[in-house]
Amino acid sequence: MRFLRIIYFEIKQLYSKWFLAILITVLAIYAFTSFGVGSGNPRLILYNLNYLIIILLILYLSTSFAVVRPMIDVVFTTQVDPVEYYIARAIATGFIYPIAMIMITMPTLRPGLDLAYYVAILLLLLGFLILFTANIQLIPWRSKILLSIPIFVIIILGYIKPELSPLYGLVRPGPIYVFYALALLALSIATIPRQGIRELTTNAYGVLGEQPPIMPRRLGARPIGLPRTPWGIAWVTSTTNLTFMMNSPQGSRAVSMRINIFIILMPLTISFAIAYCIVALLIHNTGAQVFLSSYSFYIIYLMLYAFSASTISYERLWLSLSIDPTRYFRYRMGARTLITAITLLPWITAYALQGMYFRPAVYLAAALVSAVMTSPVLSWFIAAYVGQPQVRELQMMQRPMMYSLRALLMLLFIFIAISIYMTPYALALLAVYYQGLAILWPISAALTAVLLIASAAFLYYAVVSESGRGMWAWLVNRLSEDGYV
C-alpha cells in the first residue's frame, strides 16, 4: 500500500491531468483506427513500438533528471527504504510506457491463451523498460553506454529481424517471449545500482556536491582568465561548461567541469556521421536509403531540441541579465548557434554526400542547416514556456520536470516543425518513386530556399536585429515566473 502511495505522489509531481487525458485520448483514437490494420500487419505495430521507445528514451534521458532537490531535502531524510523508493519513482517516471504500449498493441489482441501470454509479456517488458531506463539515468557515463547496449540491440532487432525482438511477443504472444521478457526483467533487476542508491541516500551531498579541482589543460579549457569582450565571454562560457556523472573511488559523482564541449561532441558526431556515410554507401535499395535518411534526421532533430533546451536550466538571471538582457541573449544565442553549426557540420556533410547518389538526402542537409539557425533560440523558448526547472545547488533541478498540457503542445509544435522541414525531402521522394512527378524537384528546391531564407530571417531577428528585444523581454519574464533567480 505504501509503495503504491509513493508511486501516486511521484506521478502527481510528474504528470498533469490534462497531459494524461490528452495522451490517452490520442492513443485511444490511434488504437481504434488501427484495429483493422494492426492484426494483419504486426511489423507495423512493432515499428511503432520501437519508435515509441526511442522517443521515450530521448525524453527521459534528456529532460527528467533522476535526482531532484526535494529528494535530498525531504525523501532521503526519512527512513524510507531507498531501493523501494527508487523502484516506485522509476515506475512513476516511466508511467507513459504502459499507457502507450497497451494502446499501440491493442489492435493485435486476440482472446484465449494469447491474451494471458500478452499480459505476462507486457508486464515483464514494462518492468524491464522502466527499471532499465531508470538504471541508465542514475549510473555514471562509462556504465551508461554499456547498459544502453541491450536497448539498442532490441531497437535494431525490431527493424532487421523483428521475430528476435522481445517486443514481437506483444504482437505475436507466446511462451518463448514470456521467458525472453522474464530474462530481461531479471537483467534490469540485477543491474539496479543498489550500492549507488544507498550511497546517494547516506552521502547525497558527497556524491552530488563535491566538485573535483579543475583540470583545464588536459580537457582543453582555459585555465585562468576570461576574454575581455562580451562575445568572448559568451563564447567561452558556452563552450567550456559541462555537467556529467563520473566514477570516483567513493562511487559516482555529478561533476560540473570546465571542459571544452567540442572535445566531447565532435568525436561523437564525426564518428556517427562517418558510420552513417559508410552504411549509406553500402545500401543500394531505395527503400532502405529512405528509412536510413529519414530516421536518422528524426533522431538528430529530436536530440538537438532535447539537449539544446536542457541548457537553459543553468542560467542565472540575477547575474547574466543584470546589465542588458537582450544583449546577453543575443550573444549567448550567437554562440549557441555557432556551436550547433560546428557540431552538426559532419551530419550536414554526410547528407550532402549521400545526396550525390540518393538525391533527396540533399534536402535533409538543407533542412539541418535551417534547424541549426532556429533550434538554439526556439528550444530555450520552448523550455521556458513548458516551465523547465532551474538547476541550482548540487547541479540539481529544484523540482522534477512536469509533463503538462504545455509540454504536449510544444511536442506537437516540434513535430509540426520537423514535418515542415522535411516537406522538400518528402516531395523529392515522391519524384523519385513516380517519374511523372518530376515537377516536384524544382518545387522542393524552391521550398528549401524559402525555408532557408525564413530560418536566416528568424536568426537575424533574434540575434542581430534590435527589434527582437520584445521576445527576449518575454523570455526574461517567463523565466522569472518559472522561479529562475
Partner 1 sequence: MCITASELTKRFNGITALNGISFRIGCGEAAALLGPNGAGKTTTLRIFAGLLKPDSGSAYVCSFDVQRQPREAKACLGYLPEDAVPFLNLTVRENLEYVAVLRGLSDSVVDDAIRLLGLEDLADRTAGSLSRGNRQRLAIALAIMHRPRVLLLDEPLNYLDIPTQESVIRLFRELNASGSTLFVSTHIMSIAERLTSRVIMISKGVIVWQGTMDELKDNAASAGERIEEVVARLMK
Note the residues at the interface with partner 1 (CB under 8 A).
Answer: 2, 5-6, 9, 12-14, 69-70, 72-81, 85, 199, 201-206, 209-213, 250, 389, 393, 398-400, 402, 483
Q: How many whole angstroms separate alpha carbon 38 and alpha carbon 43?
A: 9
Q: How far is the CB of 154 from partner 1 (least distance, A)?
A: 32
Minimum CB distance to partner 1 smaller for 378 or for 396: 396
Residue among 139, 168, 143 nearest 47 (CA) = 168
Given the complex with partner 1, which of 79 and 435 has the nearer CB atom?
A: 79
* 13 vs 243 by CB, closer to partner 1: 13
**Burial label, 423 (beta-carbon count in 10 A; 0-12, 13-18, 19+):** middle
CB–CB of 201/76 below 8 Å? yes
Q: Considering the complex, what minimum distance in angstroms separates the CB of residue 389 from partner 1?
A: 8
Cell numbers that stand for 208 in this block: 552530488
* DSSP-derived pairing of the beta strands 251-257 and 242-248: antiparallel
Using the minimum distance from each CB to partner 1, give the nearer residue, 202 or 467.
202
Greatest alpha-carbon span in the chain: 74
Whole-number Å distance between alpha carbons of 222 and 241: 11
Q: How far apart are CB 318 and partner 1 at their closest, in Å?
A: 15
Annotate 302-311 with b (16+ C-beta within 10 A) or e (fewer). Answer: bebbbbbbbb
Q: Which helix (H) or strand (E) holds 286?
A: helix 286-310
The CB-of-34 to partner 1 minimum distance in angstroms stands at 34
Which has the closest alpha carbon to 251: 400, 140, 165, 415?
140
Q: How far is the CB of 60 from partner 1 (least distance, A)?
A: 17
In the complex with partner 1, the residue whose CB is nearer, 150 or 216, is 216
Sequence-distant contacts of 201-208: CB under 8 A, at least 24 apart: 201/76, 201/82, 203/250, 203/251, 204/67, 204/71, 204/72, 204/76, 204/394, 205/72, 205/394, 206/250, 207/250, 207/251, 207/252, 207/253, 207/254, 208/67, 208/72, 208/253, 208/254, 208/394, 208/395, 208/396
| Grid cell in block for residue 187 | 537483467
Q: Give the nearer residue to partner 1 in terms of CB position, either 214 or 277.
A: 214
Q: How many helices (H) and strands (E) does the chain have?
A: 22, 2
Rounded CA separation 13/75 (Å) = 14
Instruction: Compute the least distance from the CB of residue 209 to partner 1, in Å.
Output: 8
Whose Cβ is closer to partner 1: residue 12's or residue 316's? Answer: 12
CB of 97 to partner 1, least distance (A): 20
The least distance separating partner 1 from the CB of residue 484, rounded to whole angstroms, comes to 12
Residue 216 is placed in which grid cell? Answer: 583545464
Of residues 114 and 210, the one with the C-beta less far from partner 1: 210
CB of 61 to partner 1, least distance (A): 20
Residue 369 or 402: which CB sits closer to partner 1?
402
